[in-house]
Amino acid sequence: GEDVEQSLFLSVREGDSSVINCTYTDSSSTYLYWYKQEPGAGLQLLTYIFSNMDMKQDQRLTVLLNKKDKHLSLRIADTQTGDSAIYFCAVPSSNTGKLIFGQGTTLQVKP
């Protein structure tokens, strides 16, 4: 079946760049998403990329998509303590049409 994998934990220093990676086994030709979850809250849409794009930049966020390797990444420039959260990638399955979420990457930002 389809699978979406993320590393579970990333720790960076304030001001550094963070790169969160996601690999998937299957995707339909539509949008791939990054969500952010802060403690005690639901998932918030952070950014997204259409499957025919390689890169999307949105202020401090850069999304890279390598369709050949089925690899999605999220880069946060100048990481701040307020960026500390869990980050989920979500990929639509071409088989079921459902959105498949990764396990989430906990980003810890040290001052």
Partner 1 sequence: DAGVIQSPRHEVTEMGQEVTLRCKPISGHDYLFWYRQTMMRGLELLIYFNNNVPIDDSGMPEDRFSAKMPNASFSTLKIQPSEPRDSAVYFCASSWDRVRTPLHFGNGTRLTVT
Question: According to CB under 8 A, which residues from 12 to 51 bind partner 1?
Answer: 28, 30-31, 33, 35, 40-45, 48
Residue 53 CB, nearest approach to partner 1 (Å) = 15
Q: How far apart are CA 29 and CA 108, in angstroms?
A: 32
Residue 11 CB, nearest approach to partner 1 (Å) = 19
| Secondary structure (DSSP) of 39-81 | TTS-EEEEEEEETT-SEEEETTEEEEEETTTTEEEEEESS--G
Residue 43 CB, nearest approach to partner 1 (Å) = 5
Applying CB under 8 A, does 9 fall inside the site for partner 1?
no
Find the largest Cα–Cα distance for the chain. 43
Of the candidates 13, 34, 16, the residue with the CA atom closest to the CA atom of residue 76: 16
Q: Can you read off the two tokens belonging to residue 85?
A: 């959260």
Question: According to CB under 8 A, which residues from 45 to 104 bind partner 1?
Answer: 45, 48, 88, 90, 92, 96-99, 101-104
Residue 8 CB, nearest approach to partner 1 (Å) = 10
Binding site for partner 1 (CB under 8 A): 28, 30-31, 33, 35, 40-45, 48, 88, 90, 92, 96-99, 101-104
